[in-house]
């Protein structure tokens, strides 16, 4: 069985087949640390699953806003035009919590908080917590992950 494990302390995302790690990527989680609360800007912990896969057939560096392809492709000129934008690029894996009261329902609901695994500009550092709550990955890495996982794949996020 395939699953994804994210370690906040190591800033890594590991692909597992049964209990065997088959691939590992460097990631960037929330600058504000871990936490479940709506509006916290923190990365939620616990058991999740992939609820939706967004961006199939889009080119690398496709820009998404509100989970919609804007028709833009990220480059230096776009970055200069919108310097404050939190770039969500290439692919989106939308996470849904599985633990009521921890990361599901109420004001701790990961899906309602729009927690994703997504691509980010290649200029952004990996291995360093800098996101607004999501899990950021290199575009080439999120493309590989997107093709490897299915909707409903288990994702566990640990401190």
- Give the count of domains, the chain: 1
Question: Is there a contact between 49 and 95 (Cβ–Cβ < 8 Å)?
Answer: yes
Task: Supply the CATH number for residue 124's domain.
Answer: 2.40.440.10
Task: Single out the residue of 103, 69, 66 nearest to residue 86, CA to CA.
Answer: 66
Residue spans of the chain under pLDDT 70 = none
Q: Nearest 5°: phi and psi at 115?
A: -85, 120
Looking at residue 34, its pLDDT comes to: 98
Helix (H, G, I), strand (E, B) or coil at 27: coil
pLDDT in tens, 66-101: 999 999 999 999 999 999 999 999 999 999 999 999
> pTM (2 decimals)?
0.97
* Domain of residue 116, residue span: 2-158
């Amino acid at each position: 069985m395939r699953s994804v494990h994210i370690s906040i302390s190591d800033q890594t995302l590991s692909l597992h087949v049964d209990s065997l790690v088959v691939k590992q990527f460097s990631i960037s989680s929330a600058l504000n640390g871990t936490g479940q609360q709506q509006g916290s800007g923190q990365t939620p912990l616990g058991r999740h699953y992939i609820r939706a896969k967004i961006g199939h057939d889009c080119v690398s560096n496709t820009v998404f806003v509100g989970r919609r392809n804007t028709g833009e492709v990220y480059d230096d000129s776009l970055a200069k035009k919108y310097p404050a934008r939190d770039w969500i690029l290439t692919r989106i894996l939308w996470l849904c919590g599985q633990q009521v009261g921890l990361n599901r329902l109420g004001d701790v609901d990961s899906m309602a908080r729009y927690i994703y695994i997504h691509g980010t500009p290649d200029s952004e550092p990996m291995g360093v917590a800098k996101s607004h709550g999501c899990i950021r990955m290199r575009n080439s890495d999120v493309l590989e992950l997107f093709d490897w996982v299915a909707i409903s794949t288990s994702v566990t996020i640990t401190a």
